[in-house]
């Protein structure tokens, strides 16, 4: 414990991670104020998700949460981040992702058009602003230059992040909570690499997710919609690229990839499953992992807890590569608490009983009255 709270550890956190706290708090506060306004705008202009079909909610629900999140995120960037190309790129491209996908929330884009928008946004970030994955780093200081594959690899990553968050957005509070955790993981990794701008960007992203969660956790008063999911996916993808663009660190993308391992795997399996069935990969269904967990008996809150615990645990494992080994122990304990809470709640509500007669002897259970 004394090693965990040593002067050196606390000084490192204060110097390299604390700068991300202020954008986090501002984005949280602004988003918290903007969400009620977004709810009013959604109802006024008919940007509302109707119940039925693959939607599990019972009442019409506003879906302009992405607008509120981007406003909080943008305000934090404008106040705390330097006015450079890097900040402008994240602000503009993520804003376009949010703005263009509002059309999909209101009128529903054809799948081909939607994919074209995703690829166009990714190309704008890569070719227009130079947000590129230039190399992969391996242990021992070995670098694998991407070379001619730089553009397609970067575009694939950004399109993949948009779809991963979009597919993850299937339960109240799920996508925003997982992205908030991944943003915090990125903030810690960037702090260790002494990248203050990435620390602040990650803090702002985590903050706007936190402010939105106040209204989106089950039962949700507002959804993020495709506009919010694509904003979060694009912002997360760009920030993770910026976090490794200037530093050759072994497995530099390990932290965000591991933190998102569960939704990435679910997205990959959804694509394979739909292709095997001869359906379009854009065809919606209720066979994602979060849907299966709810079919198993978990409610939306419990489903979120499972994903939160998995994301935090896997992300903390990735952070050990950046010298944050102590964090893994803390996250393991927190994940165990969440898991046991969900399990105990399930047992209580389902009325399950585990037969163990020997416990009666240990507990000195009195014999039944005659």
Cis check for the bond before 219: say yes or no (omega within 30 of 0). yes
68-72, 88-92, 131-135: the lowest-pLDDT one: 131-135
**What is the model's pLDDT at position 362?**
46
**What is the model's pLDDT at position 54?**
56
98 closest CA partner among 228, 245, 258, 234? 228
Residue 118: is its pLDDT beyond 50?
A: yes
Highest mean pLDDT among 54-68, 103-117, 233-247, 321-335: 103-117
Q: What is the pTM of this model?
A: 0.83
CA distances from 348 to 223, 285, 291 (A): 30, 30, 21
- Are residues 49 and 169 in contact, defined by beta-carbon separation less than 8 angstroms? no
The sign one gets for the Cα dihedral 196, 202, 208, 212 is: negative
**What is the model's pLDDT at position 3?**
43
Q: What is the pLDDT of residues 199-222, one digit of tens each?
A: 999 999 999 999 999 999 988 999
Backbone angles phi, psi at 369, to 5 degrees: -70, 145
Q: What end-to-end distance do the CA atoms of the chain give, in Å?
A: 54
237 closest CA partner among 125, 323, 340? 125
Residue 358: is its pLDDT beyond 50?
A: no
- For 337, residues 6+ apart whose C-beta sits below 8 A from its C-beta are none
**What is the model's pLDDT at position 53?**
58
Residue 302: is its pLDDT beyond 70?
A: yes
162/166 Cα distance (integer angstroms): 6
Q: What is the pLDDT of residues 244-263, one digit of tens each?
A: 655 544 455 677 788 888 88
47 closest CA partner among 56, 55, 39, 59? 39
Arithmetic mean of pLDDT, 126-133? 91
> In this structure, what is the dihedral angle of CA atoms 325, 26, 245, 181, given to the nearest 10 degrees?
40
Pair of tokens at residue 278: 């001869």
Residue, of 117 and 189, whose pLDDT is higher: 117
**What is the model's pLDDT at position 276?**
80
Q: What percent of the chain has pLDDT over 90?
A: 44
**What is the model's pLDDT at position 55?**
59
**What is the model's pLDDT at position 356?**
53
pLDDT band at 359 (very low <50, low <70, confident <90, very high): very low
114 closest CA partner among 129, 127, 97, 138? 97
176/217 Cα distance (integer angstroms): 9
294/282 Cα distance (integer angstroms): 22
- Dump the DSSP string for 313-356: HHHHHHHGGGT-HHHHHHHHHHHHHHHHHHHHHHHHHHT-----
- Are residues 27 and 73 in contact, defined by beta-carbon separation less than 8 angstroms? yes
- Are residues 49 and 16 in contact, defined by beta-carbon separation less than 8 angstroms? no
């Amino acid at each position: 414990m004394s090693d965990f709270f040593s002067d050196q550890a606390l000084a490192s956190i204060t110097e390299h991670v604390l700068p991300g706290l202020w954008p986090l708090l501002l984005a949280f506060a602004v988003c918290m104020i903007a969400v009620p306004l977004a709810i009013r705008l959604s109802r006024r202009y008919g940007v509302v998700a109707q119940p039925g079909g693959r939607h599990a909610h019972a009442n019409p629900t506003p879906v302009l949460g992405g607008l509120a999140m981007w406003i909080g995120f943008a305000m934090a960037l404008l106040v705390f981040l330097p006015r450079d190309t890097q900040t402008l790129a994240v602000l503009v491209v993520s804003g376009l992702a949010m703005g263009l996908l509002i059309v999909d929330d209101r009128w529903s884009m054809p799948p081909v058009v939607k994919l074209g928008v995703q690829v166009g946004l990714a190309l704008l970030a890569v070719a227009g602003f130079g947000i590129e994955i230039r190399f992969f780093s391996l242990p021992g200081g070995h670098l694998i230059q991407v070379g001619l594959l730089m553009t397609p690899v970067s575009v694939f990553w950004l399109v993949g992040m948009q779809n991963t968050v979009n597919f993850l957005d299937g339960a109240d509070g799920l996508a925003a909570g997982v992205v908030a955790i991944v943003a915090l993981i990125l903030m810690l990794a960037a702090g260790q690499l002494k990248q203050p701008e990435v620390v602040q960007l990650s803090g702002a992203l985590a903050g706007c997710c936190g402010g939105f969660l106040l209204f989106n956790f089950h039962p949700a008063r507002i959804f993020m919609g495709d506009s919010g999911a694509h904003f979060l996916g694009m912002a997360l993808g760009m920030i993770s690229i910026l976090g490794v663009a200037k530093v050759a660190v072994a497995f530099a993308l390990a932290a965000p990839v591991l933190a998102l391992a569960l939704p990435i795997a679910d997205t990959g399996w959804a694509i394979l499953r739909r292709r095997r069935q001869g359906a379009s990969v854009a065809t919606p269904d209720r066979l994602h992992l979060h849907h299966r967990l709810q079919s198993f008996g978990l409610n939306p809150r419990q489903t979120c807890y499972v994903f939160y615990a998995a994301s935090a645990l896997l992300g903390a494992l990735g952070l050990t590569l950046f010298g944050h080994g102590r964090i893994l122990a803390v996250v393991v304990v927190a994940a165990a608490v969440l898991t046991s809470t969900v399990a105990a709640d399930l047992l209580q509500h389902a009325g399950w009983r585990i037969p163990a007669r020997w416990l009666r002897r240990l507990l000195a259970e009195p014999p039944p009255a005659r």
